[in-house]
Amino acid sequence: MWASTLGLLILLAGLVALIKGADWLVDGAAAIAERYEVSELALGLSLIALSTTLPELVVNLIASQQQEYELVFSNIVGSIIINIFCVLGLVGLMTPLYVRPLTIKRDIPFAVFVIGVVFVLLNDRLFFDARDNALDRFDGLILLGLLFTYLVSIVRRLKRKHLDYEKPEKSLSKGKQWWYLIAGGIALAGGGELTVLAAQELTEAWQVSKKLIGLTILAPGTAFPELAVSFLAVFKKRYDIAVGNIIGANILNVVLVLSVSTISGPLLYNYKLNFDWLFAGLGTAFLFVAMFTGKARRLDRWEAGILFGFFVAYSFFLFIRL
């Protein structure tokens, strides 16, 4: 009884930190974009995506050092699936999401590409006739190279030629802009950790298996910051931040988090997660195709409904697998 109560209190604290952190982060990013004439999309793809990816990064560093390899990969692929199918699905059901031409042309295809690359790197036995499936330091260097390529593309489009959004009625001071951005990122990271800790406390109190924790609790817990930021961004009509956050977070989950996770040594990979990686890649590819169906350059509500429907079906399949 006490363990369940403690878990619920920690969960409440984590959710409050996530919501407030998302609010600060979106306000700070929008104010910085306004002051320095920086594209909100570029901020969403870089700084905000990095902030919301911090929980995955922290969890994976700890898991890789403890040789919890299945936890490392299930956390990442689970977060990608949740971001595409659940977060974009729910946010897209709230309002159609307009997507910039450059995002359609570069960012979404790059997200599909990096998922394909990591799928090949993970399946050494299938593609390279190796003894074991593992992500080693050399593979990590390849992913770091992709990270560098991605960051260069972001830097090149930091400046925007025009503003698509109305200026806020009251603008934050220069000091407050960065304070909101930094404090929001810290609150998101802390909130994500508290949420995961709460989930672990509750599952242990309710006697749920460790495997269930890793596949169905950890990934959703670390993906909560992306969900919070995207919902707040849509509520504040900052659609570039909402879309850029999801696409950027998925790319960074692969090229940053997995590459850094190889520092402690090779990460042994279980091929049973291949279905999940393929599902993540197909979901991202569907998002690309959706840009050319219905009304061009936007995710319509019916397309978002398809994404969320697939997430529900995947969740059902996941529980059957367990």
Q: Given this model, what pLDDT does residue 311 score? A: 95
Q: Given this model, what pLDDT does residue 76 score? A: 92
DSSP string, 20-50: HHHHHHHHHHHHHHHHHTB-HHHHIIIIIHH
**pTM beyond 0.75:** yes
The SS3 assignment for 100 reads coil
Q: How many CB atoms lie within 10 A of CB 255?
A: 25
Residue with tokens 């850094």: 260
DSSP string, 105-151: IIIHHHHHHHHHHHHHHH-HHHHS--SS-EE-HHHHHHHHHHHHHHH
Give CA–CA dist 254/244, Å, rounded: 16
The SS3 assignment for 159 reads strand
Strand partners, 159: 38
What sign does the dihedral 15-18-22-23 (CA atoms) show?
Answer: positive
Q: Given this model, what pLDDT does residue 37 score? A: 66
CATH 1.20.1420.30 fits 2-158+169-321, yes or no: yes
Q: Given this model, what pLDDT does residue 41 score? A: 67
The SS3 assignment for 164 reads coil
What sign does the dihedral 290-295-300-305 (CA atoms) show?
Answer: negative
Q: Given this model, what pLDDT does residue 62 score? A: 74
Distance, first Cα to last Cα, the chain? 26
User: Under 8 Å CB-to-CB from 133, ≥6 apart: which residues?
Assistant: 122, 123, 124, 125, 126, 268, 269, 270, 271
Closest by Cα among 304, 273, 251, 237 to 78: 273
- Phi, psi of 268, rounded to the nearest 5 degrees: -70, 140
pLDDT averaged per 10 residues in sequence order, the chain, 322 residues: 77 79 77 70 71 74 80 88 94 91 92 98 94 94 95 74 46 77 83 74 67 65 79 84 88 94 91 94 96 86 96 88 64
User: Under 8 Å CB-to-CB from 193, ≥6 apart: which residues?
Assistant: 14, 55, 58, 59
Q: Given this model, what pLDDT does residue 164 score? A: 46
Q: Which helix (H) or strand (E) holds 199?
A: helix 174-205
Per-residue tokens: 300: 């319509």
